[in-house]
């Protein structure tokens, strides 16, 4: 019996895959080899240009190094080459071209600081330029710990004998993205968009014969706006901030459980309802204020940060028009009291800094 064509096709798949991998590896080897060869050739060109500079033959140096600066040098050698071109233009009295190349140099090396080995002419020209940060952007993630605050308790029956309370600092998660706009080297405006999922627990002793337990979770989009002050430092920089945040409630759900106590415990089973949608009982738009601070760790062209902030709710979480939801009133003897949501936020993240090099 002849083997089926489908089996032959299946047997060819590993062979085709192996061939593709070999071709890819050969292409990668060729690219790396070409790059290494190009860097070696350009390094020789750079050494020749430095020799000509020492001899005072400077007119040909910019053209000699032009192509290698664009594509053929390692980062360290590129800095050497750009410095050499700038010095060649300075000694040739071509200030406009020296300034043009200095702008390009600072565009590639915006955090460059003059070194003891730099010639005085280069340092003098560098002092006529600045490379200040404009914005930084990146992502963050972390935890939040909810702490609801009761403002006004409500009950479908008498408030006497009804003792409600929230648990504090139940953990949740957050992640988001943001930008910082630099008003000065030390003062920034922060704009963020953050997804948050918070959790909290509610319990109430009800009239001496029953106890209610609720576990509620919220999913929100928060849009914090902050004013930050960064204390000067080299590597580690503390900062403080204050601001406000506008939140949009995406989802709100709860698990309800009412248990009987005393003699009633032996007569009645617990009343349970899980994953109850509370969307129409919660206000969809919320405001909060916050205070906080943190610590930044500087790396080239960016920084990592640790942020700790306390958010205090300014809005009532409860939608007054839908407070008396039938299911919670009759099955659980419960209606929501007015409460706000405070929470403690911990996050870590990274920001990439965009600079604006320019002549002073």
Q: Look at phi and psi of residue 29 and say left if phi exceeds 0, alpha if psi is from -120 to 50, else beta.
A: alpha
Torsion over CA: 321, 323, 327, 329 (sign) = negative
Of all residues in the chain, the percent with pLDDT exceeding 90 is: 56
Least reliable range by pLDDT among 91-95, 202-206, 254-258, 326-330: 326-330
Separation between Cα atoms, residue 196 and residue 345, nearest integer Å: 10
Check whether 85 has a pLDDT greater than 60: yes
Separation between Cα atoms, residue 99 and residue 152, nearest integer Å: 67
Q: How far is CA 185 from the centre of its chain?
A: 20
Q: How far is CA 283 from the centre of its chain?
A: 27
Mean pLDDT of 45-58: 89
> How many other C-beta atoms can be found within 10 angstroms of the C-beta atom of residue 90?
21
Is residue 315 within 8 A of residue 340, CB to CB? The reply is yes
Separation between Cα atoms, residue 41 and residue 44, nearest integer Å: 5
Q: What letter would DSSP give residue 284?
A: S
Check whether 1 has a pLDDT greater than 50: no
Check whether 160 has a pLDDT greater than 80: no
Query: In this structure, are strands 129-152 and 170-182 parallel, antiparallel, or unpaired?
Result: antiparallel
For the chain, where are the alpha helices, taking DSSP H only?
Answer: 5-54, 61-67, 75-91, 95-108, 120-126, 326-332
Separation between Cα atoms, residue 69 and residue 66, nearest integer Å: 5
Least reliable range by pLDDT among 29-43, 174-188, 195-209, 323-337: 29-43
pLDDT reported for residue 34: 46
Q: Indicate the pTM of the whole model.
A: 0.81
Confidence band, pLDDT 50/70/90 cuts, at residue 145? very high
Mean pLDDT of 260-283: 81
Tokens found for residue 353: 């800094």
Which residues lie below 8 Å from residue 24, measured CB to CB, with a gap of 6+?
A: none
Check whether 2 has a pLDDT greater than 50: no
Tokens found for residue 212: 């209610």
Tokens found for residue 235: 């590597």
Q: Which domains does the chain have, with CATH numbers?
A: 12-127 (1.25.40), 133-359 (2.40.160.20)
Separation between Cα atoms, residue 285 and residue 31, nearest integer Å: 54
Mean pLDDT of 229-235: 89
Q: What letter would DSSP give residue 202?
A: E
φ and ψ at residue 167, rounded to 5 degrees: -80, 155
Torsion over CA: 35, 41, 45, 51 (sign) = positive
Q: How far is CA 337 from the centre of its chain?
A: 35
Which residues lie below 8 Å from residue 121, measured CB to CB, with a gap of 6+?
A: 87, 90, 91
Is residue 212 within 8 A of residue 163, CB to CB? The reply is no
Query: What mean pLDDT is reported for the chain?
Result: 86
pLDDT reported for residue 335: 83
């Amino acid at each position: 019996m002849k083997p089926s064509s489908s089996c032959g096709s299946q047997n060819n798949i590993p062979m085709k895959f192996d061939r593709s991998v070999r071709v890819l590896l050969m292409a990668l080897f060729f690219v790396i080899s070409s790059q290494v060869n190009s860097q070696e050739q350009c390094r020789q060109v750079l050494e020749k240009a430095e020799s000509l500079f020492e001899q005072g033959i400077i007119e040909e140096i910019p053209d000699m190094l032009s192509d290698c600066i664009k594509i053929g040098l390692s980062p360290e050698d590129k800095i050497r080459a750009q410095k050499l071109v700038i010095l060649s233009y300075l000694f040739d009295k071509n200030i406009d071209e020296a300034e043009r190349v200095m702008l390009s140099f600072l565009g590639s090396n915006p955090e460059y600081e003059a070194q003891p080995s730099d010639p005085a002419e280069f340092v003098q020209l560098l002092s006529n330029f600045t490379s200040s940060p404009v914005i930084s952007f990146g992502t963050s993630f972390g935890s939040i710990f909810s702490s609801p605050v009761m403002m006004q308790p409500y009950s479908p029956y008498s408030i006497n004998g009804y003792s409600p309370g929230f648990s504090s600092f139940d953990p949740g998660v957050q992640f988001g993205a943001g930008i910082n706009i630099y008003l000065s080297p030390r003062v920034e405006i922060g704009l963020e968009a953050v997804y948050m999922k918070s959790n909290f627990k509610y319990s109430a002793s009800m009239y001496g014969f029953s106890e209610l337990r609720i576990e509620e979770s919220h999913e929100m989009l928060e849009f914090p706006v902050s004013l930050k002050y960064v204390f000067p430092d080299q590597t580690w920089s503390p900062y403080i901030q204050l601001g406000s945040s506008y939140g949009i409630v995406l989802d709100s759900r709860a698990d309800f459980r009412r248990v009987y106590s005393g003699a009633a415990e032996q007569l009645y089973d617990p009343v349970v309802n899980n994953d109850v949608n509370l969307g129409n009982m919660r206000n969809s738009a919320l405001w909060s204020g916050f205070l906080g601070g943190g610590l930044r760790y500087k790396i080239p062209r960016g920084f990592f940060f640790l942020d700790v902030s306390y958010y205090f709710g300014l809005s009532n979480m409860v939608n007054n028009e839908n407070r008396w939801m039938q299911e919670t009133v009759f099955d659980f003897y419960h209606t929501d009291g007015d409460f706000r949501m405070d929470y403690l936020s911990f996050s870590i993240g990274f920001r990439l800094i965009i600079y604006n090099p320019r002549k002073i």
